[in-house]
Structure 1
């Protein structure tokens, strides 16, 4: 899954301050269902885009379950929990930004 946020407000690189993530670095986070990566494919004074990429480890999710019910691992509920995975990733990766405080640029 990929979530992008863009701005053209100048200086656009202030998006990095709002999200508390440095546009010059790719950052990775380990989550219970896989990896989350945040990066900036475009970062200039005119336009800045932040991208949150989720790499969901579906094999780990299946193997982590209780194996007492044989058919349960073949039922695919992933389309219904995609928004939950994205919500958890936003909360974990961008939690500081959700608080709404920026001490370096108040």
Structure 2
């Protein structure tokens, strides 16, 4: 799954669009990886300039991890590991990734650049 967040600098603004990295607490010059119980989340910036900046959250869901990390209440029938709706619950998995990867940004504070918040 892919979530992109873009920022365009308005004319006459005192800040650059790449300051989005300060708001999200993620460095635009490198790719960051976060392990999740169901896969891997990557944060990268395909575009980071003065006028426009785009942050991307790429979520790789691993169906094997979903089966191995099943809860104690999961059904124990012979096809149980093959009949699984969790890979299709995209919104739930993406919500968890957003909260863990961008948790600091969701609080609405920016220590390094408080004028941006």
Report the TM-score, using the length of structure 1 for normalisation.
0.91
Aligned length: 105
Measured in 2, the distance between the counterparts of 1:98 and 1:20 equals 10
Corresponding residue number in structure 2 for 1:104: 112
2:13 aligns with none
The correspondence of residues 56-71 of structure 1 with structure 2, limited to 5 A, is 56-65=61-70, 68-71=76-79
Aligned to 1:9: 9
Alignment of 1:24-35 (within 5 A): 24-35=29-40
SS of structure 2 residue aligned to 1:72: coil
Partners in 1 of 2:27 and 2:68 — Cα distance?
A: 35
> Does the aligned pair in 1 maintain the 2:38–2:69 contact within 8 Å?
no
Which residue of structure 2 lines up, in the alignment, with residue 51 of structure 1?
56
Whole-angstrom distance in 2 between the partners of 1:76 and 1:68 = 12
Distance 2:9 2:111 in 1: 20
Higher helix share: 1
Give the alignment's TM-score, normalised by structure 2.
0.83
Q: Distance in 1 between matches of 2:75 and 2:95?
A: 27
In terms of Rg, which structure is larger? 2
d(CA) in 2 for partners of 1:54, 1:73: 22
TM-superposed deviation, 1:73: 2.2
Q: Once the 2 structures are TM-superposed, how far is the Cα of residue 60 of structure 1 from its aligned partner?
A: 1.9
